[in-house]
A and B are shown apart, each in its own frame.
Chain A
């Protein structure tokens, strides 16, 4: 028997902390999270609903830890992990989820689907199925002992070049991408408004190692003079 499946299950087991267990157990599969996902907004396939994405891990978890899933897997929606299922999980965990956590903010229960996808990524990395480039980058950062925060200056330079590019593309010389600074229009908000229904004051993901975009505050969203936002 291949070692892949036991290795993946062991990785899932190591990931199972309180937050992950709560995220795996609490989902009511109401589907309300669908439109909050960028991927679903651009390609509204049922498989792109965050709840459906997380089900790929939940089915495995239920088979391992849910009493009903052990006895009546068909009723609980539990499945044994197989290598083809792991292969399918690569697309789900690495390509169709960016871990942006918009679905978590928009979930009435606060289901942390990104955390579940991170567990899936751990399983895939442990079994050598993660995209090679990502593994190399992560290994290099770990080998050099570099924290994401140490790339802050490089990040600012990249954002500055993106700012110029965005100004050219939109024809808006006033467009600013101000990481960690007051003022300017929220670039993430601008992008999101194309696909989502945002209201003033809606929280947007922000955090070190995630999206370091300016937090949405009323005064920061005020349109610049003469240019409606």
Chain B
């Protein structure tokens, strides 16, 4: 190299005050001239260097993040929270796709057998079970390989459990609602699954303070199926899916939320009965 950048231009480039044309030509020279690079390094103010480094770190980090995390961040979720959410098995694409498929198929089945009312009952029985299954796979030893580490970490387990299960229930309910659009019957029954779905999910969470989410959801799911079968056996469908059932679901929801608040500290320990 026969020429070098004069100290004034170098200073301006280092502090980021050079015009873009000057900066471009300085940059072209710097890539080929070790001498000028050596002069440049100490001239860059430390805060500017830190800011540049932070931005590089951020860009590299963002581009390597999985799709789910990027979607969550774009939806306004904080990047650290997004990372904690994105590992949830029941928030993955494959799981959510199968939920949508199950809801649509149940709705189509309901249409085929319509007239007898049996089809609608199948949809209304199945729909509340979908978020329950999602909650079972939202945290705990079966869903989270790092469960043991999570317990020993200062991050509130209750907060993590609520974050994940609310995200799962919201997604599942939204997908089920999309599935319900395929129902031929658009009467009030098309939304009769919503309250039971929320109530059963909350009950699963409340039971999880004593056992694993897997067992809790199995217990809640079985209880729900028994109630539905018994009421069908005695031709009392209206009791479960009609107004009395809705009121009962609302009470269960309230009770489960209260129980959850009351026993919330138990999430802090391993909830398995044996080890």
Partners in one complex: no
Name B's A-contacting residues (CB within 8 A): none
Which residues of A come within 8 Å of B, CB atoms? none
